[in-house]
Amino acid sequence: MSRLLLFASLLLPQLFVAQSKSAAPATKSEFVENLLNQMTIDEKIGQLNLPSAGDIVTGATQNADIASKIKNGLVGGLFNIKSVTKIKEIQSIAVQKSRLKIPLLFGMDVIHGYETTFPIPLGLSATFNLEAIERSARIAAIEASADGINWTFSPMVDISRDPRWGRISEGSGEDPYLGSKIAAAMVKGYQGSDLRDPRTILACVKHFALYGAPEAGREYNTVDMSRIRMYNDYFPPYKAAIDAGVATVMASFNEVDGVPATANKWLMTDVLRKQWGFNGFVVTDYTGINEMTEHGIGNLQTVSALALKAGIQMDMVGEGFISTLKKSLEEGKITQNDIDQAVRLILNAKYDLGLFEDPYKYCNEKRAKTEIFTPEHRAEAVKIAEESFVLLKNNNHVLPLNPKQRIALVGPLANNAVNMAGTWSVATKQERSITLIDGLRAFSSTITYAKGSNLDHDPAFEERATMFGKSLNRDSRTAEELIKEAIEISKNADVIVAALGESAEMSGESSSRTSLEIPLAQKELLRELKKLNKPIVLVLFTGRPLVLTEEIELVDTILNVWFPGSEAGTAIANTLFGKSNPSGKLTATFPRNVGQVPIYYAAKNTGRPLGNKDGKFEKFKSNYLDVRNEPLFPFGYGLSYSTFEYKNISASKTAFKTNEEIEIRVDVKNSSKIDGSEVVQLYIRDVVGSVTRPLRELKGFQKIALKAGEAKTVMFKISTEDLKFYNSDLNFVAEPGTFEVYVGGNSDATLKVQIELLP
């Protein structure tokens, strides 16, 4: 490279900020306004356009259709493209060949890790470890930013109380308090404390709003609920992300109060900006604007104008903005200020990232080679996966296993790398994921293996459930032949490990189910294995709560591993052999059957509550003819190889005023001979309110480590803020009165103390 060329390349970032002949303005506002004043209407609308690039082949960029749009200033950002080489090539078109040289945003669905993949978000939430969850997002940001990405469409914070909905796998479960804590942790992990740090990326909280409550649990379906439920149960995690400084928000597909969220001004302007103070930009979901025509509120021009007026700034893929807004402006359906304000917010985000100063700050090839899928990141993924596992049953202490035992490993998920990372793992190199059989063989040489069954008897269903290249390599043998092979290898085993459940794509987007059972082919395998009268360990892979009423009778042990990520086999084996002790807790209730859905712990009482807890039917009470009310496994439930005792709950005082706090203390002891960790959970019941209140609400948790035989006193502080709720006027209030405080290892905790908030 000549000295002149070298000097020019070094000077480019400094010169880039000067978008006109004058020097760059001193402040962000001045800079953005100066740039905005130079833009044509087409260039302004172009900034609102977010097409999907596809993974353009290096060298083909210059001739792609997207290149001409970028040159003409008709693109504000791209997504679905990765690698420093490709992104640098595309960014160079924007900053060297477009008139105003405005850099692009590059987004990707970095949901639960990048190439180093962590458990699915529902599994992450089961750790109840906010520091670990934040670390997972931090590592994801480091790896994604090293590969050219500067924007992730995460976290998804939708509360869901219906496991039929496939995307329950991508959220943090049913509880707004826990969901809020996780939302804030994820935002902090992605964005850090300074977005100009090249190892941070823009976060995008989604899907605003109420996406997790579709009728019938069916993807993209209608959502209809009262505003008091919105504010108390579904809004808190979104607001927590806003309070944590999230840079962007994604609109949801569903309607809210009869108006699609993407055109809902009350939601996008009144709530998001006026009530919560959000100052970033809002992007639609994939073709969200176009899809409003199917909702029946207008043609593409109409719905595009409605979206802009409502408070949407960026159009993902649909190109409704770029194809209609100019016409709507000419016809007076939108104003110049509507467009300018949208552009202003997008330029602000690019400025905050430091892209105007250095458009290539995310294109460091050295980082791409040294900061992705590192041994340190993979070790962290193992540790976090281990914390996510939930031990649902462990009769006769079958677990942990002894490496000297003869182990028969069976099941369609025992030797399949591509399903280990779970849904929405788009950057994962699936073939590198560690299988369960490889993990077990690192501990023991006595492993024998048979597939035992296909995922499902129906090949068409299996194909739908293994999309995106996540095949289970369907076996052409009959079900009887597969089971026979599994029985033969199990006859001489000391213990059977059955790797069963869902495939990765049986949950996730557009993966709703009307049945929550393990597929029949796998059930039949389990039934035949039971006849051998040997200990059976069910390693359960799932992206949602499942109905396990039959399985809990067939097996001795159930270890729910969700989808643990790229290091799955190592983490599972560590846990099965006792190198790691399970400490995960359920963040979504497991029903006895699908007829109980929606089911969640924070329910309200009825005027005719069921008086017993033994499942006995009572006529004219709120119960079923055919099944008891209680779930199979409640929220917060999870066993350990250790056992924990709770006693001596106390309050620092019995009554307190609005400007005071009460301390709640409880003694927790590890009464076993095995070191372990326990999630100590605090729940509150507001006994009398101006509106009906839930029977219990999670208001605190602490994950503590206890040595064998060790005891600790755990302390929680309760303030007036913990007692507040939205009343019928949507005022956020704490009402004086009596409150019951429960502390224990799950939402059925019985240890209780009573306190009073004074007027």
Catalytic residue numbers read 285
Please tell me the distance from the alpha carbon of residue 755 to that of residue 737, in angstroms, as a whole number.
9
Cβ proximity of 77 and 50 under 8 Å: yes
Instruction: Fill in the DSSP letter of residue 493.
Output: -
Please tell me the distance from the alpha carbon of residue 172 to that of residue 160, in angstroms, as a whole number.
8
Tokens 């304000």 belong to 341
The residues, ordered by sequence, that sit 6+ positions from 341 with a Cβ below 8 Å of its Cβ are none
Please tell me the distance from the alpha carbon of residue 228 to that of residue 231, in angstroms, as a whole number.
5
Q: 277 in helix, strand or coil?
A: coil
**Phi and psi, residue 622, nearest 5°:** -80, 85
Question: Max CA-CA distance within the chain?
Answer: 90
- For residue 301 the two structure tokens come to 């021009």
**Mode of pairing for the β-strands spanning 751-757 and 737-744:** antiparallel
Q: 619 in helix, strand or coil?
A: coil
Please tell me the distance from the alpha carbon of residue 267 to that of residue 46, in angstroms, as a whole number.
25
Tokens 């059976």 belong to 536
**Phi and psi, residue 150, nearest 5°:** -125, 10
Please tell me the distance from the alpha carbon of residue 6 to that of residue 358, in angstroms, as a whole number.
16
**Phi and psi, residue 369, nearest 5°:** -90, -20
Please tell me the distance from the alpha carbon of residue 449 to that of residue 439, in angstroms, as a whole number.
13
Tokens 């224990």 belong to 744
Please give the full DSSP string across 37-76, using - where no structure is assigned.
HH--HHHHHHHTEE-B---PPTT-GGGSHHHHHHHTT--S
**Angle at 747 (CA atoms; ends 742, 749), nearest 5 degrees:** 45
Burial class for 742, CB neighbours closer than 10 Å (0-12, 13-18, 19+): buried
Please tell me the distance from the alpha carbon of residue 231 to that of residue 233, in angstroms, as a whole number.
6
Closest CA to 256 of 210, 290, 195, 291: 210
- For residue 598 the two structure tokens come to 């929606």
Closest CA to 207 of 161, 243, 260: 260
The residues, ordered by sequence, that sit 6+ positions from 376 with a Cβ below 8 Å of its Cβ are none
Helix boundaries (H) for 357-417: 365-370, 375-388
- For residue 379 the two structure tokens come to 């070790």
Task: Please report how many Cα atoms fall inside a 13 Å half-sphere around the Cα of residue 332, on the Cβ side.
Answer: 0
In degrees to the nearest 10, what's the CA dihedral of 483, 487, 490, 496?
50
The residues, ordered by sequence, that sit 6+ positions from 267 with a Cβ below 8 Å of its Cβ are 208, 209, 256, 261, 310
Distances (CA, A) of 177 to 445, 457, 490, 553, 584: 45, 41, 45, 33, 17
Please give the full DSSP string across 413-446, using - where no structure is assigned.
TSS-GGGSS-SS-TT--GGGSPPHHHHHHTT-S-
Cβ proximity of 368 and 149 under 8 Å: no
- For residue 362 the two structure tokens come to 């995310």
Closest CA to 718 of 741, 688, 695, 697: 741
Cβ proximity of 196 and 205 under 8 Å: no
Which amino acid makes up residue 351?
Y
